[in-house]
Structure 1
Amino acid sequence: MNQGIDKYVAQAIVEIAVFLEFSGDDVINQDSAMNAFEQLASTLQKSDLKTKLCLREDFLSISKGYAGEQMIFVENLADALGLGGG
């Protein structure tokens, strides 16, 4: 992990994103999950470039703790959230 973002903040973002993406209809309404994910993305997109780059790096590191589809999702989370760094 880098020194730009507290590792627990990055981990919390990953955990909520994984929950929203992989929880079934019996846990959360999928439209509500999508709305929450879009709101998370919108807020994070307002971050400065350094924060976006740090989150991108952290998400890649955190993804190693997941397997299968969840690992791939976390590896690509920065792009899904629109944190292209610019």
Structure 2
Amino acid sequence: MNGKHMIKAIVDIAIFLEFTGEESLDPDSALNAMERLSAELQCMSAEDRQIFSEQCRALSGAYGDKEGFVIGLSEALGIE
């Protein structure tokens, strides 16, 4: 399995949870899901957290106007 693809999938989910309007996704449910995602990712080893952060930065350019969000995702999730 390629970790880059897994990290991209996590980034895509985080973007969905953060930017989907409340008419399509309940804000409380989105926040709860983001908090659960964060809690699980915080359980990674220090090495895996570092890899996740590096890959987020490497992938960020592909996300257009969400680039800044992706760059800061590791910090926002509490793993950096």
TM-score by length of structure 2 reads: 0.94
The Cα RMSD (Å) is 0.9
Q: Give the total of aligned pairs.
A: 79
Q: Which amino acid aligns with 2:7?
A: A
Cα offset, 1:67, TM superposition? 1.7
Question: Structure 1, unaligned stretches of length 5 or more?
Answer: none
Show the counterpart of 1:9. Answer: 6
TM-score by length of structure 1 reads: 0.88
Secondary structure of 1:67 counterpart: helix
Mapping of residues 37-76 of structure 1, within 5 Å: 37-68=34-65, 70-76=66-72
Question: Structure 2, unaligned stretches of length 5 or more?
Answer: none
Partners of 2:59 and 2:25 in 1: CA distance:
24
Structure richer in helix, relative to its length: 2
Percent identity over the alignment is: 37
